[in-house]
Structure 1
Amino acid sequence: IFAQPDAKHVQAQFDEVTRMLERSHPKVATMLHDARADILAFCGFPPKHWRQVWSTNPLERLNKEIKRRTDVVGVFPNPAALLRLAGAVLVEQHDEWEAGSRRYLSEDSMRQLTAFNAALTLPDANALTGVIPVPELIAA
């Protein structure tokens, strides 16, 4: 799906993959169909950004760091303690990216995105279903 040259081919390949899965793995096909807007959201960005947008590498690195820190603690006294530690890791990571000279997308690339912004299509957040709120994470 992701190795296609343009959005039209990406969508056609997605349809083909889900059609092929309907017979052997109907639940997977349904899940993919329901998540279509999220899976194909990267098509709303310029093709030069696609690899960074669909990549989960930064998220995997972040999860690895949270796991490393929680393994040190071992057992948490309550769920709020775990959330505090994970939140601290997220804040630390945010501060590193904000203060540092590291860029996931170059400034030139971001200018292209601004020019491309008029055609940007992202999934409708109101259409998402099945979201379970976590009271500890909701701002007071």
Structure 2
Amino acid sequence: MSAGFLLDARLAADTRPIARLDLCEARLMDDARFAWLVLVPQRAGLVEIADLTPSERTLLWHEVDRAGAALQATVPCDKLNLGSLGNIVRQLHVHVVARREGDAAWPGPVWGSGAAVPYGQDDREALAQRLREALQSAR
């Protein structure tokens, strides 16, 4: 983590930390309707992907690939959705969402689709552990 890094309050409220990668912290979105990771580069002041150095951009996409592979290995998944919107939370973060045909937002985007359904603590911890293990093996 770089000096001065502070996680945006909305990301902190909506997600739970599950793993520290080389550049990013992988966080689980607390919405049981979707298996959804949020990768947050641990650098102060980032808003756009272009704010990263070239080597950090390469590392970010490697970690996005790892997160996608971990989701595919852990949960049923027909399609991965990736996004770095920043319209509500300006701090640079990348969404990696495992989608299933017929899920609560299918075929539309998950963003703004109904109210989140928080995980029960046991279910969240079980999924987080499976994702941690899959992230380790997806190096």
Q: Report the TM-score when normalising by structure 2.
A: 0.25
The structure with the largest alpha-carbon Rg is: 1
Q: Report the TM-score when normalising by structure 1.
A: 0.25
Larger proportion of helix: 1
